[in-house]
Structure 1
Amino acid sequence: MADMDRASEDVPADSAEKTSQASKDEFSEDEETLITRMYNLVGERWSLIAGRIPGRTAEEIEKYWTSRFSTSE
């Protein structure tokens, strides 16, 4: 029985963090809609937009926007 407890401790913490980070990087449809609407209203004021989405930072919002809507000209 002690071996079963030990096995759960052997899972590297960084693998759990990667799973958490991957789901955090994904934006829901509601978040995407809100980001688009807010961007049309206030422009590149990422901190203002992030303030309307709980758990999101200005950096996450800006990264999402530039990766999704940047022009490569």
Structure 2
Amino acid sequence: MADMDRSSDDISVDSTASKVEFSEDEETLITRMYNLVGERWSLIAGRIPGRTAEEIEKYWNSRYSTSE
């Protein structure tokens, strides 16, 4: 039973820790690159050291996606 409790705690920790912060320069670069190449996240990530395509896509979708 302790394992089940631990799993649920890990899930809640992961969901709060998954928010990634970007610097103003990174945000500007992401926006500029998106305008040039569109949703080619791996290409954009290649221009920002230490960032993955998944992080950038998640950032973009959380910041700029339209929820209709």
TM-score grouping bracket, smaller chain normalisation: 0.7 to 0.9
Tell me the residue number matched to 1:70: 65
Q: Which has the higher contact order (CA 8 A, sep 6+)?
A: 2
C-alpha distance in structure 1 between counterparts of 2:60 and 2:20, whole Å: 12
Let me know the Cα RMSD of the aligned residues.
1.7
**Identity across aligned pairs (percent)?**
89
- Say whether residues 1:46 and 2:41 are aligned partners: yes
SS of 2:49's equivalent? coil
How many matched pairs? 53
TM (norm. structure 2) is 0.72
Q: CA deviation at 1:49?
A: 0.1
C-alpha distance in structure 2 between counterparts of 1:72 and 1:66, whole Å: 10
The answer for unaligned runs of 5 or more in structure 2 is 1-13
Tell me the residue number matched to 1:61: 56
The answer for unaligned runs of 5 or more in structure 1 is 1-17
Poorly superposed stretches of 4+, deviation over 2 Å: none
